[in-house]
Amino acid sequence: MLSEHDNLEEYRDPVNYDLEFGGEIEKYNFYLELAKSNPGEVLELACGTGLTTIPLSQSGINITGVDISSTMLEYARIKAKDLSAIFLEGDARTFKSEKRFSMIYLTGNAFQAFLSDEDQSCLLKTVYMHLKPNGIFAFETRNPMGADLSSEEETTWGEFIDMDGFLVKVSGTQSYDERNHIMHWVTFRDWGYKKSTSRIACRFTDNNTLKSMLTSHGFCIENQYSDWDNTPFTTLSSSIITVCRKKEQK
C-alpha cells in the first residue's frame, strides 16, 4: 500500500527544491495573518525546508515545524539560523507533543500526501489532539473538480535556475488512479549535462468528502477560499483553502 514515505524521493535536494518552489509571498502572508489573528504558538506539519515556517518566525510568530524528511529539516535549521523556530523530525500521522497550539496548518498541498482514509484520519486526529480549545486548523488541497485528472505523456512544466546558476528544464507525466483518487506524477529535471527523475503520488479529495471528514473529526469549517487573496471557493476552483476551528467534545 502506498504511504507518505513513497513521496520522499521528491525531497532529496532541499537547496534546489527551495529554488524551484520558493517565493510564494502571498501564501506566506495568508498564514501569517491567520496566525496573528489567533495569538499563541503555531505548529506547521509537513514543513519541509521551512519555506513558510521561517517567514512566520521572522515576523515574531512562535512556531514549530514538523517533517518526516531529515534532509529537508537539516536545511531548514541552517536557514533558520538564530530564529526561535523549532524543527522536529516526525510523522504527522503519529506525532505527539505535550504542547497545545493555537493554530496548526499544512501547506504545499501536503494534505494530498496522505493517501488513504486511514492516513487522513490519523492526520486529523493528530491535529485535533494538539490544538487548544477553539484553535484554528488551516490547509489547502487541489480541487478534483477544478483539475485535469487525465493521464498525460511527458509535457513541459517549467524551469528554474539552480544553486550553481544552471537553467533546469522541468517536465513530467501524470497518471490518475480513479479507483483510489490518486494522481501519480513523474518529474524529469534536465540540467543539460545531467538528468533526474522523481515520483510523487497525491490523493484528490472532493470538497463534500472533505467537509464530511472534517466535521466527523471535530472541526467546524469557518471559511473556504480559492486563492491566497481570500477569493471565495467555487465548485470549479483549482484549490480548496480551508480554515476551520476545533469544536470541543460535549
**Cα–Cα distance for residue pair 13/69, rounded to 1 Å:** 11
- 49-90 tens-digit pLDDT: 999 999 999 999 999 999 999 999 999 999 999 899 999 999
Question: What mean pLDDT value characterizes the chain?
Answer: 94
SS3 of residue 48 by DSSP:
coil
Q: Are 172 and 187 in contact (CB under 8 A)?
A: yes
Percent of the chain with pLDDT over 90: 93
- 83-142 tens-digit pLDDT: 999 999 999 999 999 999 999 999 999 999 999 999 999 999 999 999 999 999 999 999
Would you mind telling me the total number of residues written for the chain in this entry?
A: 250
The sign of the torsion formed by the CA atoms of 240, 77, 103, 125 equals positive
- 156-179 tens-digit pLDDT: 999 999 999 999 999 999 999 999
pLDDT exceeds 90 at position 239: yes
pLDDT of 250 reads 56
Residue 231 is classified by DSSP as P
Q: Are 144 and 205 in contact (CB under 8 A)?
A: yes
**Cα–Cα distance for residue pair 100/129, rounded to 1 Å:** 8
| pTM of this prediction exceeds 0.85 | yes
**Cα–Cα distance for residue pair 15/12, rounded to 1 Å:** 9
**Helix H or strand E encompassing 206:** none
Beta bridge partners of 107: none
Going edge to edge, which strands form the sheet with 167-177? 152-161, 167-177, 182-190, 195-203
pLDDT exceeds 70 at position 206: yes
Cα 153 off chain centre by: 26
pLDDT of 11 reads 79
Q: Which residues of 2-18 are buried (b: 16+ CB within 10 A; e: fewer)?
A: bbbeebbeebebbebbb
Instruction: Enumerate long-range contacts of 180-186, CB under 8 Å, 24 or more apart.
Output: 180/115, 181/144, 181/205, 182/2, 182/115, 183/149
pLDDT of 6 reads 52
SS3 of residue 32 by DSSP:
helix
Percent of the chain with pLDDT over 70: 96
